[in-house]
Structure 1
Amino acid sequence: MAETIQYKCPCCGGRLEFDSGLQKMKCPYCDTTFDVETLEGYDDALKQDAADDMHWDAAQQPWDDVQMGVYTCKSCGGELVCDESTAATACPFCGNPIVLTGRLSGDLKPDYVIPFKLDKKAAEAALRNHMKGKRLLPNLFRSENRISEVKGVYVPFWLFDADADAHIRYHATRIRTWSDRDYDYTETQHYAILRSGDLSFTHVPVDGSSRMPNDLMESIEPFDFSSAVDFQTAYLSGYLADRYDVNADDSIGRANERVKKSTESVFASTVVGYHTVVPESTSVRLANGRVHYALYPVWLLNTVWNGKTFSFAMNGQTGKFVGDLPVDKGKKWRWFGLVSGIAAAAAYGLVCLWQLLH
């Protein structure tokens, strides 16, 4: 059996969970709270716990290509089967939060974690607020909407630091027009513009989970790294957590793409006073590259309507919320007709006004 860890309240024996509001570990049964730092030594003690070794020498069937693991809940004795990317979960039998410590040791141990600042109620309220003012949202979706799943997940992120030496060449134009009694004139001046400079990037994030779409995770950025703390497993109690299944080397391409786009955006903002600006050559060279591994807090919400699942995500630190909503086709066409009618009426009014003036 693989190793698990659960935090027990020394007062009543209940399970301890990380409370995002208090920023402390709290027992939901006796309301006793503990600073996370006080559990640092408790981590080491829990890892020394050993289970009975009473196995029979019986043949075991091999696992499939997808590596799974069997874990024993220390509260009820139930067995959990988890895939290789699960680092924290809850027992399906008794509901106790479980941290799979073997998934977070050695090279798999994160350097940092940003603790949850917002709780489940905040995520549910954010979804309701997300639906406000949406004219094309079906009425039944708004009134009958039931959230089928809300889960707080620590998502693995690779954080890239680097110094960039960049050189970009632009082709720009300035255009001047004038007229005389006979002709209209256009003068176009062409410029080759060079920009060079050094930039430093810190904590450029790339999510390390293949189960999390890059565009979804980037949509809820930024995360404020100033709130990051050294990793301790206690922060994971009461939440789900994935360990990375996309390694740092495979994430470099995405990090380079983000660094290059940011560099181009910064340099382009300095090229002003021209009618057109087109980048012709870009060279970005990186040095002093460093990589860190961190867990970032994300609330994931799913709701089902008309047999279709709609997924949403919220930054568990800042509250930034994203997600697609269904569109009522009837409302869509009525709204399109209303807008078209207003535009037609305005055009007719202008025509009438022109006729009156002429």
Structure 2
Amino acid sequence: MAVHEYKCPCCSGALAFDSTIQKLKCPFCDTEFDVEAVKGYDEDLKNAGTDNLDWNTDAGTKWTEDEETGLRSYICKSCGGEIVGDVNTAATECPFCGNHAIVMEQFKGDLKPDYVIPFKLDKEKAKEEYRKHLQGKFLLPKVFKDENHIDEIKGIYVPFWLFDADADADLRYRATRTRMWSDSDYNYTETSYFSIYRAGSIGFDHVPVDGSTRMPNDLMESVEPYDFRDAVDFQTAYLSGYFADKYDVDAEQSVTRANERVKESTVDAFRDTVNGYATVTPEYTSVRLHNGKTKYAFYPVWLLNTTYKDEKFIFAMNGQTGKFVGNLPTDKGKFWKVAALITAVSGAIIYAGMWLAQLL
């Protein structure tokens, strides 16, 4: 047998007909209703449609085999949350409880670092150096300096390959020396040309080459040098509290850049011995390496990210020495004002020179 109740539209209590007033009355809130009004309300309730909350749950697409290979997930031992990273994540933090995690599996089957230079400078120092980096930059947009906020800041141990080698070198330079004089009729210029030969040996210790494709090579080389005297034998405990990536560029792949750096440094070192000339140009170089050795190390870097007009700006600070680098946006209005001022001043100087020449 079906049971039906008329519900009060105000408080949902069961309405009762009050014969004295000829109306339905709620015994809970004392609200009175005409019968026809309640009947219409009741019919609306009966005819109301049921909920339809079905969803099309065909969301996402299947991972490709390459994508699945590149993903790793780990369970936080503190809270049980899942940490998702990639094949190169060696140290990270749990997004749920904030506890730091070192992914030991990442060191299995791969090379263990020989050395690590521990962080000497903290996050507050990185923020301080960032603020200093913005000072005195006349062409920096004012809004960037006054309102810009750091999107992200994190300490990362970056993998580096360290190359040791001795180099024997033979170098020849073309140099010039210029002499000028005048007499009552002419101005004279005499240019003498020289061929200069240098030969010798030079040693290199711990030439670093960034072993991570995530880190721009120019940015990592800009925060150099590191003082290797602070390096210690690698222990995973040094990674706790920081992020770390293992290498995805191996030592063999890094040899080309190491050779470039060694050769450039050799040429520059021998060039510094050639003095007293107006110009010096390398003409021939032969650099031969021997006793080459390679080591694997983690070096500390603070990375800061910020956004300005939808453009990302990345800054880096050497976590050992505090050297800070990073590109900044330019206020184009200020730039063109400065350019116009320089042009005007240069023009005035040239005009003054011509005027003086006519007087003389």
- Compute the TM-score of the two structures, normalised by the length of structure 1: 0.77
Task: Provide the aligned length of Structure 1 versus Structure 2.
Answer: 298
1:288 is paired with a residue of what secondary structure?
A: strand
Match of 2:317 in 1: 314
2:118 equivalent among 115, 118, 129: 115
Contact map agreement 1:108 1:243 (CA 8 A) in 2:
no
User: How far 1:105 moved relative to its partner?
Assistant: 4.0
1:257 equivalent among 260, 263, 267: 260
User: How far 1:284 moved relative to its partner?
Assistant: 0.7
Match of 1:68 in 2: 71
**Aligned in 2, Cα 1:90/1:253: closer, same or farther, shift over 3 Å?**
same
1:108 is paired with a residue of what secondary structure?
A: coil
CA distance in 2, matches of 1:268, 1:212: 31
CA distance in 1, matches of 2:188, 2:227: 54
1:223 equivalent among 220, 223, 226: 226
CA distance in 2, matches of 1:293, 1:187: 54
Q: Deviation per CA, 1:306-358: give whole Å up to 9, x if none.
A: 22211111101111111111111122222233333444455556666667x66
**Map 1:142-161 → 2, pairs under 5 A:** 142-161=145-164
Q: Deviation per CA, 1:157-179: give whole Å up to 9, x if none.
A: 00000111111122233344556
Match of 2:285 in 1: 282
**Map 1:149-228 → 2, pairs under 5 A:** 149-177=152-180, 187-228=190-231
Match of 1:17 in 2: none
Match of 2:241 in 1: 238
1:64 is paired with a residue of what secondary structure?
A: helix
User: How far 1:69 moved relative to its partner?
Assistant: 1.6
In the alignment, structure 2 segments of 5+ residues that lack a partner are: 1-62
In the alignment, structure 1 segments of 5+ residues that lack a partner are: 1-59
**Aligned in 2, Cα 1:344/1:168: closer, same or farther, shift over 3 Å?**
closer
Task: Tell me if 1:89 matches 2:85.
Answer: no
CA distance in 1, matches of 2:332, 2:195: 50
Q: Deviation per CA, 1:265-314: give whole Å up to 9, x if none.
A: 01111122233322221111111110000000000001112222111111
CA distance in 1, matches of 2:288, 2:320: 33
User: How far 1:67 moved relative to its partner?
Assistant: 2.1
**Aligned in 2, Cα 1:138/1:107: closer, same or farther, shift over 3 Å?**
same
Match of 1:51 in 2: none
**Aligned in 2, Cα 1:308/1:186: closer, same or farther, shift over 3 Å?**
closer
* One-letter amino acid matched to 1:260: K
CA distance in 2, matches of 1:145, 1:183: 61
Larger Rg over CA atoms: 2
CA distance in 2, matches of 1:303, 1:83: 23
2:299 equivalent among 296, 301, 317: 296
